[in-house]
Chain A
Amino acid sequence: MADVIHIQIPAWQLPLLILIPPLILGFLVAWLRHLARSRSAPGEEPDWSVPPLEADSKTSPLHHWDVRCKIVTILVYSFLVAALTRLTPVLVAVGLSFMVLLIAKASLSRVLMRLLAIVGFISMFLVVMPFTVPVHDGDKVFVINQIAWLGFNVRGLLLAATIAGKAVAITLLMEPLLATAPLPMTLQGLSRLGVPEMIGQMLLLSYRYLNVFRHEARRMSSGMQVRGFRKRTNMATLKAVANFLGMLFVRSFERTERVFDAMRARGYKGRFPESAEPHVQARDLIWACVWLVAGVMLVTYDRLVF
């Protein structure tokens, strides 16, 4: 039987109760976003005549780790973390991720930005689940002012917290995975692992033109602003946005043809030239083993101890 606890709160406090948590969350997100933005200011222009990895003063075991081992290990470990079902091991996983973050000397602002990006989705769970999970035996439910259908189920909160913890633990690993090697090298690692090399090349191309199109889109949107366009909730806005999209597509399809021409003009015949072969050392494998064993232990703990 569920453990129902009734709480009486004066009516005037109810709106406060509903409003305050989202407000706090909102302010927190805004503050963190500001923090991340202001931290992202690059100081001196790095020296671009040497490969960025060597130019980076930050080096860590993760920077030197063979990229294939790194990808496999972090991917498998992420799945292991995703398989956890209880809060305690999840919290341990979050702690582990923080440790890796410190070892990798990852940029804090980028990590923050990644966390902020999942805040919306995760807070939906945190807000909705305590009120919607079905009541089971042994659940602790808080009912406020006799509104029975809006019972706050603690099990729901714990479940949501577990999910949030898993999401954070895995998201924290993205920076150590990706920021410790240049993107082309990471993609090379992927292709060595059996992902078709074309996928890596296409990702690089997409990334390159993403930046071009973003600049284009920015210029177009200032072109619209200069003529007084402001987005509102009305049909005219949707029409203007559609024109904007249409123009973006027309320009990008035209550019696509030109880029393809440029590639063919420089001898592209359907395949990209192959890239260099990295070497795996025993040390790389030991790291991988240690990490994965930690992951397996977490899952065992999760499934057996309770």
Chain B
Amino acid sequence: MHISDGVLPISVTIGGYAASAALAAWSARRTHSEELPKLAVVTAAFFVASLIHVPFGPTSVHLIIPGLTGALLGPSAFLSIGLGLMLQSLLFQFGGLTALGANTLMMGLPALACGWFFQKFKGNARSRQIAIGGVAGAAGTMLAAVILAALLATGGEDFFGVAKIALAAHVPVIIIEGAVSAFTIGFLARVKPALLQPAFAHLTKRDHG
């Protein structure tokens, strides 16, 4: 769920821009500068992944996968998410020109937290990676929902009701994201474990001519 324009107080939107710009800059510094194009291409894949809908009873939910993004990209996840949201706001229908900063924070912070968590605790056994991946996936969505609720609540007590509803609406998504993340990590652990290597191995630790 993305926050649209005109919802948040003006101070929060500007604050959100400032904070996410700073974090994106930090994230870019943690990425090998030569390999930023790679991050751009990978971002496209995460973007496509986030377009996938999973049915939930009569309706369907679309994946947000902040946890998975964090687990696979580590610190560069924040920049990747910022880029993805910018792309979405520029080229696709989802607007949010003024809320871009806040939206990036909402997705990016959980990604960073879950990425750190996954790399810290994943261990070497596949079953453990699956479990930790599932926790990271669920926690990522939960954190995103909490941040969304908190951002909405900055509008004053008039917004508390909406914030609560938004939080509640994320409960099924949290379960689905947890399961999908666990299975995806399990798939990658079997098929291409190199992608699960410490945060940046595939984006920085490569010497090339």
Contact = CB atoms under 8 A, between A and B. Distances in A.
B187 A121 contact: no
Given A78-B97, A113-B93, A243-B183, A252 B42 contact: yes
A254 B54 CA distance: 26
A299 to B, nearest CB: 10
B86 A203 contact: yes
Contact of B37 (A128, A205, A232): A205
A122 interface: yes
A250 interface: yes
A165 interface: yes
Contacts of B162: 124-125, 128-129, 132
Contact of B184 (A202, A209, A246): A246
B26 interface: no
Given A202-B83, A233-B57, A245-B49, A170 B6 contact: yes
Contact of A206 (B34, B40, B184, B202): B40
Contacts of B192: 250, 253
A206 B47 contact: yes
B41 interface: yes
Contacts of B44: 205-210, 212-213, 252
B98 A249 contact: no
Contact of B158 (A79, A84, A129): A129
Interface residues of B, number: 76
A241 interface: yes
Interface of A is mostly: helix
B54 A131 contact: no
B22 interface: no
Contacts of B45: 209, 213, 248-249, 251-253
A147 interface: no
A269 to B, nearest CB: 8
B13 A82 contact: yes
B72 interface: yes
A243 B179 CA distance: 12
B125 interface: no
Contacts of A78: 5, 97-98
Contacts of B8: 82
B158 A156 contact: yes
Closest 10 CB pairs of A and B: A132-B161, A166-B6, A242-B183, A252-B45, A246-B187, A117-B93, A202-B40, A209-B44, A170-B5, A205-B40
21 contacts: A81-B5, A83-B10, A121-B4, A125-B162, A128-B162, A174-B89, A174-B97, A203-B83, A203-B90, A206-B44, A206-B83, A208-B44, A213-B47, A214-B48, A231-B54, A249-B184, A249-B195, A250-B192, A253-B202, A260-B37, A263-B37
